[in-house]
Every structure is written in structure tokens, then in C-alpha cells.
Amino acid sequence: MHIMKIICSKSSLSKSVNISLKAVPSKTTMPILECILIDATTGQIKFTSNDMELGIETIVEGVIEEKGTIALDAKIFSEIIRKLPDNDVIITTDANLNTTILCEKAKFHIPGRSGEDFVYLPSVERENGLTISQYTLKEMVRQTIFSIAMNENNKMMTGELFEINHNTLKIVSLDGHRISIRKMELKREYENCKVIVPGKTLSEISKILSNEVDDQVSIFFSQNHIVFEFDQTLVVSRLIEGEYFKIDQMLSSDYETKLTVQKKEFLDCIDRATLLVREGDKRPIIIHITDDVMELKIDSAMGSMNEEIDITKEGKDILIGFNPKFLIDALKVIEEETVSIYLVNPKAPCFIRDEGNTYTYLILPVNFNH
């Protein structure tokens, strides 16, 4: 007697399993959470995974022959699906929760767990959502996520600020050495709102968003959660509590030196300079800006390099040092061919901004000895 029987193509199972795996915890004290819950009790087949910070529910294309539910070990289930032939897969469970996965001549028997112990996703009211293109969200995250802090010393720094102000969405990340800000105009006005979204949520969701400009994602906020809804998939994440850093006082528009440089040339040059720096060696790149030339120098135990680049400059000459990685991270995600850099003095932050103010990268300089 089947308690549950579903038939799905291998490709739709693979797609749904890959999405679900993003919220399966790598280690947990609750073994049930190491499972993907298959729920075929309604008219749809749904996979759910939940690591208590992040939860994902996705609808799987397929046919339900017998309604039922089962929780299967995510690791084993995903490996089996990955290695099955490209054909229809029949998944059945019996009263003892034993599960059979059948595809062509391959037949697997694995133990399941009762779905009743599974921790379902918190329900969040989905009203007043913000709808944007999946491609745009993915890009905005890619252009900011590199400057969140990895360590847990300050929880706030491991997330990104999502701020809606009338018809602008702003995403901010910072790690104490740099700040990334990305803004976009929305098609209409929304209620103002500020939340801090865990970096892990954003990097996992970026992997399953599409690159298509026409594919939409809806975003909803509640007191403690953020919800992303797209392509038959629902992602619910806890928010980081607290008041985000007040960054506005750091964002002055005064400058003593403004320069414009070819982005690729600048990036390639810093990239070459870092050939001489070993991992973990904190060698600054020293930039000397005079009339129409920027000279870049780096010295390390392995050797030294210097190179000159043509620039257009307004204002004073300046000698300033940076952690080259921070410049590379920002330049890598800027799409334009030329970038504008604003400097005040060797101790003040450097700003890389575009004319339309859609992005701002603030990077603190480092001290160096001549």
C-alpha cells in the first residue's frame, strides 16, 4: 500500500533539489532538518528545507498518484537524483516510511522520516511587496556583497541593509574598512522600510535567481523576516536585529582631487601589482597622482613593481596607499569603461562613484612608509 506516490522528470527533480539544498544546514542538532520534506498532500508537489535562519519552499513539476508526505536525507536524495538517467522518476513510500526511488532499471530503497517532525517555514504576510527584476536583484547583491564582514564579531556587518525610501531601493554593506552602496529607482513609490538581511541568505538566493531581465521577484518584509517569491519558489529568511550603522555622515561629497581613469587599465595594473604579494601579506599599493599621470607602486619581499597610467585629473596632487584587494573588489563589479575617483587627503576615505549616483564605493586608505 503506497502512502505516497509521485512521478517527476529527473530534470524537474534536479532543479528543485538544487534550490532546496541552499537551506539544508551543514551541521545541526536537529537531524530532521538535514532532510528535504516532500509534501504531496495538496494538489502540488512541494519540497521544503529549513536551517532555522533560511527556509525554502519550491513547487516541483510532476504528477501525484497517491497523496502523502515524507522527509528524506537531503544529501543522499540529491546524490541519487543527480546520478539517475534522464527519465521519469517514480518516488513511493510505504507505511513504514521506506522510500523507493525508481528510474528506468535503477531502483533505490532509502529510509524516510515522518514529515510531522519537520519545522515548517514561518508564515509571513505577503502584502505590499516590492517587485523587481531577478537580474537586477542579483546584480545589486553581486555589486555589494563582497564588502560584508565574514567574522561574527559584529552580526550587523555580516548582513546587508535593504532600505526603501519612496521610490528608491538602496543596498549597503560594510566591514569597517570599506562601504558599498548600490541604489536603484523603483517603478513606483513604496512604504519606507529598513531591514538587515543576512549575507548568507543573499548569496544563496543569488545562486537560484535567473539572469533574465524579464523574470520578476517579489520581496516582502515583516518584523523579523524577509520573503523572496519567484518562479514557484518561496524563500523566507530571518532578519538581523538592530539599527544599522549611520553611514550618511561618512559620505561627504567634498574632494580635493578628482580623477577619471580607464577602469580596465586600472584594474589590470593593480592585478599585476598583486602578483608580488603573498596571501595574507598586507602590502599596500601606493598611488602617486600628479597632473595627468597616476603612478602605482608595490614593494614586497618578492620584488617590486611600478607602472604609470594616464588619467584626467582636477585638483591637487596626492600620494596615498590602499589595500589592493579592496580596489580590485570594487572595480571588478563596476560595469562602466571609465571610473571617477574622489580623494581628499592620504588619511581620508576615497570614493569611487558614477555620475548617476547608482553606486558608491568608499575605501579607507592605509598608512605606509616612504
pLDDT tens, position by position, 189-224: 999 999 999 999 999 999 999 999 999 999 999 989
Which helix (H) or strand (E) is 197 found in, with range? strand 193-198
Confidence (pLDDT) at 129: 87
Taking the C-alpha atoms of residue 263 and residue 23, their distance in angstroms, rounded to an integer, is 37
Confidence (pLDDT) at 1: 66
pLDDT tens, position by position, 177-198: 999 999 999 999 999 999 999 9
Confidence of residue 282 (pLDDT cuts 50, 70, 90): confident
Using alpha carbons, select from 269, 318, 317, 316 the residue that is nearest to residue 297.
Answer: 269
**HSE, side-chain direction, 13 A CA sphere, residue 293:** 7
Biggest CA-to-CA distance, the chain: 83
Which position has the grid cell 596607499? 321
* Cα distances (Å, whole numbers) of residue 323 to 181, 283, 286, 337: 19, 7, 9, 22
Confidence (pLDDT) at 142: 98
Using alpha carbons, select from 194, 192, 193, 204 the residue that is nearest to residue 228.
Answer: 204
Percent of the chain exceeding pLDDT 70 equals: 99
Confidence (pLDDT) at 91: 98
Residue 120, pLDDT above cutoff 80: yes
Q: Check: CB of residue 9 under 8 Å from CB of residue 41.
A: no
Set of cell numbers at residue 316: 591637487
In this prediction, residues 109-128 reach a mean pLDDT of 91
The SS3 of residue 59 is strand
Residue 90 CB neighbours (<10 A): 16
The SS3 of residue 101 is strand
Q: Check: CB of residue 238 under 8 Å from CB of residue 225.
A: yes
Q: Is 246 exposed, middle or buried (0-12, 13-18, 19+ CB in 10 A)?
A: exposed
DSSP 36: E
Using alpha carbons, select from 169, 168, 178, 185 the residue that is nearest to residue 145.
Answer: 178
Confidence of residue 152 (pLDDT cuts 50, 70, 90): confident
Percent of the chain exceeding pLDDT 90 equals: 88
Question: Could you give the domains of the chain?
Answer: 4-117 (3.10.150.10), 130-238 (3.10.150.10), 252-363 (3.10.150.10)
pLDDT tens, position by position, 227-271: 999 999 999 999 999 999 999 988 988 999 999 999 999 999 999
* Cα distances (Å, whole numbers) of residue 75 to 8, 11, 107, 139, 146: 19, 17, 17, 30, 28
Residue 306 CB neighbours (<10 A): 13
Which helix (H) or strand (E) is 199 found in, with range? helix 199-208
In this prediction, residues 18-36 reach a mean pLDDT of 95
The SS3 of residue 349 is coil
Set of cell numbers at residue 58: 519550491
pLDDT tens, position by position, 55-86: 999 999 999 999 999 999 999 999 999 999 99
Using alpha carbons, select from 238, 290, 255 the residue that is nearest to residue 362.
Answer: 255
In this prediction, residues 161-178 reach a mean pLDDT of 96
Confidence (pLDDT) at 370: 59
Residue 368, pLDDT above cutoff 90: no
